[in-house]
Amino acid sequence: MVVLNPDHFLALPRPVIGVGPPTGAPDTTTLAAHDFDIDTRTGFMPPQPPLTRLPPQWELWELVLEDGLASRLQLADKPDLSEGDRQRASLWQARIRELPILPTSQLKESEILLRRAHLVLAWLLHLYIRTLPPSLSEIRIPPPITVPLLQVSSHLQLPPVLTYSDDVLYNWALKEPVPLTIASPAPALDNLRCLTLFTGTRDEEEFYLSSARIELQGVQALTLMRGIMDEAFVGDSIAITRITSYLHSLAGVIGELTKLLLAVREGCDPQVFYNDIRPWFRGMDSDTNAKPWVFEGMEMDPTLRPPTELSGPSAGQSALIHALDVFLGVDRYSHASHVTGHQSSATKPSSKESAASLPLPLSTSPEASKPSVAFLTRMQLYMPRHHRAFLRHLSNSPRPIRSIVEKSNDERLTEAYNSAITALKVFRDAHVRIVAIYIVGPSRRGGRPVDEQKGTGGTSAIQFVKSVRDQTRGALLSQSQSSA
Ligand code: HEM
C-alpha cells in the first residue's frame, strides 16, 4: 500500500496531552480536537489510557461509586437477595440522595474530564436504579444524579445513560504500564484491564475487553479504508488493482475481528453474563416492566430537557462496525428503517434517516415511535459526537466504494468487494451464535425472574441480530450487477 511519508503531519500519531509534539513537528492537538477523535494507533479508543479519577472537586462522586462497587451491591430482582443485601443497597441509595449537587461548569473545560464525569455518573445511575426495590411503580432519579448527569450529557451530546463509550472505549487501563511518548505503540491486546465493573468478575471484564480488542484490531481496517479512498481518488487502472488487493486484506482483517469476537467465550461464562452482568445495563427501553424513569430536580437548571433516549449500552454503538457498514455500503441494508428488531415494524424502508438528521434527545417512547427509525441509526446517537461526525463524513464520500465496484465492470474487483461483504456476514454469523449462547440459551434455562430476550432498546435480540446478518448478505453484488 502507498502510505504517507512518515514525516507527513497527518501520518504522525496525536501528541501526548501534556507532553506535546516532538521538536520540529507541528502540534496537531488543535486539529485533533476538531477532527474525528480517531487515532492512527488506537482508532476509536483514546491513544492514552483514560482518566481514572476526577479532580478533588468531584471526589464525592468517585467515593460513592467506589463504595457502591466495593460493597458488592446486588441486583434488586436477584432471586436469592438477602436482607443484608437490601440494607446495604438502601444505605447506599440514601448516600446518593444526600449528596450535594456538584457544579459541572469547570468540567466543561476539558473533554477528558467530561468523559470521566459521564462514566462515573452513568455508572452511579445504573447502580442506583438496578438496586431499587422491584415493587416501585416508577423509578425516581434524585437531583444529585439528575442535574450533573443531564448537564454533562448535554455538553457531550450523549444520552444520560451508560453507553458503549463508558464501558468499553473509556473504561480501560494497561495491565503493565509502559511509558507514554509520542511514539508509544497501541496497547497490546493482552495488556488491558478494566477500570470499573458492576460485579468485579473476570467474566464482566472479559466481556468489555473483547470489544476493546476488536476496536484496537480494527485500526487495520480503518487504515485500509483510508488507502482505498486515496486510490479511489486517483482512480486509474493501477488504483483499481490496489483497491482489489486492499479489499481482500480488509476481508482478512474482518476475519481477525470474528476470531476476537468468538474468543469472548474463553473468559465470559454465558450464565454469569445473563444472570449477573447484563441486567445492570438495562436502560428504560429495555426494562421488561417498562417503568418510567423520572428525573427529579430538572427545574434547578432551566436549560435541561427531559431525556427520552434511554437505551442501555450495546456494542451496536461501536463506531468501528458502523464504519465498516458505511464504507462498504452495507448500511443502506443494515440501517434500513425496517431493521429495528421490533416484530411489529416489518415495513419497507421509507426514508434515509441518519443519526445526524435526528434531534437529540429523540422523542422515543419505547414502543410507539422507535420502530420507525433503524436501531443502528439510533445507536449512533450513543456514540461520542466526533465518531458520529466521522460516520457522517464517511457516508458523504464522493466516491463510495460500492458504486466504484458496480460501475467498474471488473470481475476481480467485484470478487474482492464480495469477499469483504462475506467476511462481514461471517462476523455477523458468529455474532448470532454469541447471542444464542449468551442470551437465548440462559433465558431458556431460566434463573432470572422474567424472560429477558430483549436487547438494548427493547429489540428482540436474536431476531434483530439475525436480520442485520441477513441484510449484510443482501449487500453481495452479483457478477452480472458488476458488469451492468
Ligand atoms: C457476549 C458477547 C455479546 C453479546 C451477548 C451481544 C449481544 C448483542 C445483542 C443482544 C445485540 C442486539 C442489539 C442490542 O440489544 O444491543 C447486539 C448488537 C450488536 N453487537 Fe453484540 N453482543 C456481544 C458482543 C459483541 C461484540 C464483542 C461486538 C463487537 C464490537 C458486538 C457488536 C455488535 C453490533 C455491531 C451490534 C449491532 C448489530 C449488528 O451490527 O450486527 N457484539 N449484540
ipTM of the complex: 0.96
126 & 207 share domain: no
Could you tell me the distance, in angstroms and rounded to a whole number, from the CA of residue 405 to the centre of ligand 1? 29
214 lines ligand 1 (CB under 6 A): yes
145 & 193 share domain: no
Does residue 431 have a known ligand-binding role? Answer: yes
Residues 6+ apart with CB under 8 A from 31: none
Contact 236, 201 (CB under 8 A): no
pLDDT of the residue at 363:
30
171 & 304 share domain: yes
318 lines ligand 1 (CB under 6 A): yes
- Diameter of the chain by CA atoms? 73
| 325 CA closest ligand 1 atom index | 40
253 lines ligand 1 (CB under 6 A): no
249 & 105 share domain: no
pLDDT digits (tens, 9 = 90+) for 34-78: 489 999 999 999 999 999 999 999 999 999 999 999 999 999 999
Query: Structural domain of residue 177, as residue ranges?
Result: 163-288+297-484
pLDDT of the residue at 408:
94
Contact 314, 161 (CB under 8 A): no
386 & 321 share domain: yes
pLDDT of the residue at 11:
54
Closest residue to atom 8 of ligand 1, CA basis: 435
142 & 240 share domain: no
Residue pointed to by grid coordinates 447484563: 278
Q: Where among 105, 125, 156 does a domain terminate?
A: 156
Provide Rg for the chain, Cα atoms: 23
447 & 477 share domain: yes
Q: Is residue 25 situated within a structural domain?
A: no
Q: How many CB atoms lie within 10 A of CB 64?
A: 20
Q: Is residue 189 situated within a structural domain?
A: yes
Which one of 465, 468, 472 would you pick to mutate in the ligand 1 pocket, going by the greatest count of ligand atoms within 8 A of its CB?
Answer: 465
435 lines ligand 1 (CB under 6 A): yes
125 & 178 share domain: no
211 lines ligand 1 (CB under 6 A): yes
Q: Is residue 117 situated within a structural domain?
A: yes
104 & 218 share domain: no
pLDDT of the residue at 343:
41
Closest residue to atom 27 of ligand 1, CA basis: 211
Closest residue to atom 19 of ligand 1, CA basis: 316
Number of domains within the chain: 2
Contact 420, 476 (CB under 8 A): no
Q: Where among 156, 177, 199 does a domain terminate?
A: 156
| 320 CA closest ligand 1 atom index | 30
Q: Where among 106, 129, 156 does a domain terminate?
A: 156
Q: Is residue 17 situated within a structural domain?
A: no
471 lines ligand 1 (CB under 6 A): no
pLDDT of the residue at 457:
58
pLDDT of the residue at 372:
58
pLDDT of the residue at 373:
75
Could you tell me the distance, in angstroms and rounded to a whole number, from the CA of residue 51 to the centre of ligand 1? 26
Q: Is the pTM of this model over 0.80?
A: yes
83 & 197 share domain: no
Alpha carbons 194 and 34: distance in angstroms, whole number: 28
Q: Is residue 26 situated within a structural domain?
A: no
344 & 483 share domain: yes
Closest residue to atom 17 of ligand 1, CA basis: 316
129 lines ligand 1 (CB under 6 A): no
Q: Mark the ranges of the chain whose per-residue pLDDT is less than 50.
A: 2, 9, 14-21, 24-34, 343-354, 356-371, 449, 482-484
Q: Is residue 10 situated within a structural domain?
A: no
pLDDT digits (tens, 9 = 90+) for 347-391: 333 333 445 444 343 333 343 344 457 889 999 999 999 999 999
Alpha carbons 379 and 203: distance in angstroms, whole number: 25
Q: Is residue 268 situated within a structural domain?
A: yes
379 lines ligand 1 (CB under 6 A): no
pLDDT of the residue at 62:
98
339 lines ligand 1 (CB under 6 A): no
**83-98 helix and 111-130 helix, angle to the nearest 10 degrees:** 140
175 & 147 share domain: no
476: domain CATH number?
Answer: 1.20.58.480
Q: Is residue 152 situated within a structural domain?
A: yes
